[in-house]
Amino acid sequence: MIEKQVSKGIISTYFAKMEKCLELDVAIVGGGPSGIAAAYYMAKAGLNVAIFDRKLSPGGGMWGGAMMFNQLVIQEEALSIIKDFDINYELYEDGLYTADSVESTSALLYKATHAGATIFNCYSVEDVVFKNNVVSGVVVNWTPVLREGLHVDPLNIMAKFVIDGTGHDSEMCQVVARKNGIKLNTATGDVIGERSLDVAEGERQVVEGTKEIYPGLYVCGMASSAVGGTPRMGPIFGGMLLSGKKVAEAIINRLK
């Protein structure tokens, strides 16, 4: 019966995929550009890595360009990453390039999954696993369960490292600091909150601030700006991609 085969095919392969991810090398919370770029480079290096994103369509703030004008700007320093993802680009001026935001986001998602990263959409990460004062995994639930406010317990996913790629709210940093009374690796020990816009400084500091923010927990992309108190930068995306690549390289080195 084809009807039964269709259902069984989905269920059995989905749960096989999920079981493979119950113990990860790296759990990435948030499938924005920085998290997806990180997933791609780590999967390519042979790590078992998964992204958990609460939306139906991961990609974060990359789909819409700026004010829904679906173009992006990328600076020279990040061009090699654009090339790694086979994204078409055009020179605009002064070392600045433009690309189509829909093509760019699709390319990131395609390349990351094709390289072996697993993406779980419609998953909200509501907490971390915190063992012996080390972040050791994530606690996940269906986004619709949380939206409906249903009283349903989550599942646990263990990971050698967790990356907070949740964007402007740096949700994992917030939750770790709030629930466990610990100090983060920031100037104040807390989540400082992002500063107003300064493109050049924002782009520089988002990459500089990409680091292990607490044992077991790394931060990348806008979550790095938010936790470290550095400026936002608007719709220039080189810093996000460079931040994703930097966190991938740091973790690959740790796990070598």
Please report the DSSP string for 194-216 in residue order: PBSP-HHHHHHHHHHT-EEEETT
| DSSP H helices in 60-198 | 79-84, 101-114, 143-148, 171-180
**Residue 31 touches ligand 48F, criterion: CB under 6 A:** yes
Q: Name which of residues 107 to 136 contact ligand 48F (CB under 6 A).
A: 124-125
Beta pairing partners, 138: 128, 157
**Residue 226 touches ligand 48F, criterion: CB under 6 A:** no
Taking residues 34 to 63 in sequence order and writing x for each that binds ligand 48F by CB under 6 A, - otherwise, the string is xx----------------xxxx--x-xxx-
**Residue 195 touches ligand 48F, criterion: CB under 6 A:** no
Contact 232, 194 (CB under 8 A): yes
Among the candidate windows 91-99, 101-109, 189-197, 230-238, which touches ligand 48F by CB under 6 A?
230-238
Residue 158 structure tokens: 């263990």
**Residue 228 touches ligand 48F, criterion: CB under 6 A:** no
How many CB atoms are closer than 10 A to CB 68? 8
Q: Which is nearer to ligand 48F, 45 or 157 (CB)?
A: 157
Helix orientation angle between 33-44 and 101-114, rounded to the nearest 10 degrees: 30
Taking residues 157 to 186 in sequence order and writing x for each that binds ligand 48F by CB under 6 A, - otherwise, the string is --------xxx---x---------------
**Residues at the contact surface with ligand 48F, assessed by CB under 6 A:** 29-35, 52-55, 58, 60-62, 124-125, 165-167, 171, 221-223, 232-237, 240
